[in-house]
């Protein structure tokens, strides 16, 4: 369960202050699949960064499963990201020196998985995002959509209890987008994974339990969508 209370995030650039978040409160229950929508610049990425422990709000509180994550030391926050979170960056954020496979298994290596274990898991997840034949390619040898799918595979490889995805399908065709969303839905169902995903596409809505729309750093509206599992999940 993620609880964010009254989050603000103010960027000061010289004399100008940008209020990227102006007081956002949000609760995400365990196993929920939440979509965050809103215009460009409305604060979606900023919110996700804070929920993903990559940034600290100017004010407000965030607790995850009862832990006040803002009170944690940098070291604890790093461990929290490693062990509990999966994060898909809007700009993929792959390590250029590593191949697709190495990018994906790196965090498993850090978590102390055995070689057979992390190789098996990372090849499996790369196949599931359709990159079975691109594993030894490096970032410069992959298309934008392929890089995005490597980033998705990296976020999923350790079966994190919370997945935060910042427009994970922005560079994918609708067919591939659908397969990725089906994969998310299945993980959400089978592993009771909590997912918070930023999206621009209207047709993604059918996958979400709830849609949170941001407007100028504030929650504009919050819509409950479905109670039943998505047809793409569970199957």
Ligand X SMILES: Nc1ncnc2c1ncn2[C@@H]1O[C@H](COP(=O)(O)OP(=O)(O)OP(=O)(O)O)[C@@H](O)[C@H]1O
- The residues that touch Mg ion, with contacts defined as CB under 5 A, are 45, 90
Taking CB within 5 to 8 Å according to partner kind, which of ligand X, other proteins, Mg ion, none is near residue 29? none
Instruction: Give CA angle at 51 (24, 171), nearest 5°.
Output: 100
Using alpha carbons, select from 2, 35, 27, 28 the residue that is nearest to residue 208.
Answer: 35
Q: Please tell me whether residue 18 binds other proteins under the rule CB under 8 A.
A: no
Of 53 and 126, CB closest to ligand X: 53
> Could you give the angle at which helices 100-110 and 144-156 cross, rounded to 10 degrees?
20
Out of 73, 112, 116, 175, name the contact with other proteins by CB under 8 A: 112
Q: How many CB atoms lie within 10 A of CB 141?
A: 12
Residues with Cβ < 8 Å from 2, sequence gap 6 or more?
26, 27, 28, 51, 62, 63, 64, 162, 194, 196
Nearest distance from C-beta of residue 128 to other proteins, angstroms? 19
Nearest distance from C-beta of residue 203 to other proteins, angstroms? 29
Q: How many CB atoms lie within 10 A of CB 165?
A: 25
Q: Are 41 and 27 in contact (CB under 8 A)?
A: no
Nearest distance from C-beta of residue 46 to ligand X, angstroms? 3
Out of 18, 109, 223, 235, name the contact with other proteins by CB under 8 A: 109
Residues with Cβ < 8 Å from 80, sequence gap 6 or more?
53, 64, 67, 69, 72
Enumerate residues 66-105 that contact other proteins by CB under 8 A. 74-75, 78-83, 85, 87, 89, 93-98, 102
Nearest distance from C-beta of residue 127 to ligand X, angstroms? 29
Enumerate residues 126-185 that contact other proteins by CB under 8 A. 138, 154
Taking CB within 5 to 8 Å according to partner kind, which of Mg ion, other proteins, ligand X, none is near residue 10? none
Enumerate residues 8-37 that contact ligand X by CB under 6 A. 11, 13, 18, 20
- Residues near other proteins (CB under 8 A): 49, 52, 54-55, 74-75, 78-83, 85, 87, 89, 93-98, 102, 106-107, 109-112, 138, 154
């Amino acid at each position: 369960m993620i609880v964010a209370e009254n989050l603000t995030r103010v960027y000061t650039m010289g004399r100008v202050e940008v209020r990227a978040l102006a007081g956002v409160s949000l609760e995400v229950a365990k196993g929920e699949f939440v979509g965050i929508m809103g215009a460009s610049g409305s604060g979606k990425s900023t919110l996700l960064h804070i929920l993903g422990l990559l940034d600290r709000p100017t004010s407000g509180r965030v607790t995850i499963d009862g832990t006040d994550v803002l009170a944690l030391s940098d070291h604890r926050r790093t461990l929290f990201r490693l062990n509990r979170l999966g994060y898909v960056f809007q700009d993929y954020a792959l390590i250029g020196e590593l191949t697709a496979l190495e990018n994906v298994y790196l965090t498993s290596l850090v978590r102390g998985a055995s070689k057979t274990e992390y190789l098996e898991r990372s090849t499996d997840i790369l196949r599931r995002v359709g990159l079975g034949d691109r594993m030894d390619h490096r970032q410069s040898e992959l298309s934008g959509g392929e890089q995005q799918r490597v980033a998705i595979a990296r976020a999923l490889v350790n079966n994190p209890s919370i997945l935060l995805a910042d427009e994970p399908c922005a560079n994918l065709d609708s067919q591939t987008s659908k397969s990725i969303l089906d994969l998310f839905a299945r993980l959400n169902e089978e592993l009771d994974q909590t997912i918070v995903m930023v999206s621009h596409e209207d047709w993604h809505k059918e996958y979400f339990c709830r849609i949170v729309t941001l407007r100028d750093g504030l929650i504009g509206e919050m819509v409950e969508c479905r109670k039943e599992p998505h047809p793409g999940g569970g199957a």
